[in-house]
Amino acid sequence: MRRLTVDPASPDPVAIAAAAAVLRAGGLVAFPTETVYGLGADALDPAAVRRIFEAKGRPAFNPVIVHVASLEHARRLTRRWPASATRLASRFWPGPLTLVLPKDVSVPDIVTAGLDAVGLRVPAHPVALALIRAADLPVAAPSANRFTQLSPTSADHVARALGDRVDILLDGGNAQVGIESTVVDLTGAVPRLLRPGMISRAMLEAVAGPLAHDEAEPSGDAPRRSPGQVERHYAPRAALELLTRSQLESLPASREQAVREEHLGVLPYSDVPLPPGIHVVRLPADADGYARDLYSALHQLDDAGCKRILVELPPDLPEWNAVHDRLRRAAH
């Protein structure tokens, strides 16, 4: 794997051109977005997209999001562009919002898990946008990690997870949002939230009106309309358990030796006292800061050799819905 360091605010045109050439030749490029690092390929080349699935060990029923440079670019990949798409794209693009729309015939079935709709997003990251523009093609790019495992928020995470499965890794520093995009399905009469993200339901409804009620997610090998709809996802190597504050407080000091032997890691939310011998990582108390640092903290505890990770549940409030979704799937 060739690793190129780029300024996240003003990426080197030479590095971007090298990565764009790899994409045009059917190769794989890992690159930063504001959410997490993506593993990119030419979205219109089925063989290139297949390399993404092979590198990640990703099942065919799980679609990949297509990244484009503009609203106009996105419209060329759809058969129908409703008014709600214009309103949402105008408000949130570039940004961490994916819109699922009826796909154009040019979009290969492998991108969409064989379904007739494609997820589209304009990322809000200078490196990602420069790469897409230089390659002059839509870029299919799920998170640059092995399937079901922790998403990468740094280039080091990508290198450890995928190694030589990637042709070029653009190192643009740490992701600023930290969890994957919100996904909204616009193929029906009423928009439907498929995956929560840091663009919340309330923010979406303020622009597009009331969203449809949630529906049961597909199970087994049934095709998904959105990434992030498998039961176990975003998971560290260590077993992850979700606890309330009172449950975490019951971890007694008398268990110090057992705690050390278990190589226990804890992500506390409150100031609950903990016995010595535990790997503790404290995250910001606000939802945005917690989401930004969550995956990095879990990577840190994995790297410390923790066998179990206890996570004190953060507040059960609407602005925390995306964080709760990621934690619930990681603990499945």
One domain, residues 204 and 243? no
The CATH number of residue 136's host domain is: 3.90.870.10
One domain, residues 183 and 311? no
One domain, residues 112 and 194? yes
User: 96 lies in a domain?
Assistant: yes
One domain, residues 263 and 171? no
One domain, residues 261 and 200? no
**Could you say which of 208, 230, 255 is where a domain stops?**
208
Q: Is residue 250 classed exposed, middle or buried when 0-12, 13-18 and 19+ CB atoms within 10 A define those classes?
A: exposed
DSSP, res 237: S
Q: How many folded domains does the chain comprise?
A: 2
Q: 147: closest CA among 265, 45, 47, 63?
A: 63
Strands (E), the chain: 2-5, 29-32, 37-42, 66-67, 97-102, 117-121, 139-140, 168-171, 182-185, 192-195, 239-243, 264-267, 279-280, 308-312
User: 43 lies in a domain?
Assistant: yes
Q: How many CB atoms lie within 10 A of CB 210?
A: 10
User: 165 lies in a domain?
Assistant: yes
- How high is the pLDDT of residue 259? 56
d(CA 194, CA 182): 8
**Could you say which of 166, 190, 208 is where a domain stops?**
208
One domain, residues 8 and 124? yes
Provide the whole-model pTM. 0.95
The residue range of the domain holding 190 is: 2-208
d(CA 157, CA 289): 19
Rounded average pLDDT per 10-residue block, the chain, 332 residues: 95 97 98 98 98 97 97 97 97 98 98 98 98 98 96 97 96 97 97 97 97 88 92 92 91 56 87 87 97 98 94 96 97 92
What DSSP line would sit under 42-86, residue for residue? ETT-HHHHHHHHHHHT--TTS--PEE-SSHHHHHTTBS---HHHH
One domain, residues 176 and 251? no
User: 230 lies in a domain?
Assistant: no
- How high is the pLDDT of residue 313? 97
User: 221 lies in a domain?
Assistant: no
User: 59 lies in a domain?
Assistant: yes
One domain, residues 184 and 292? no
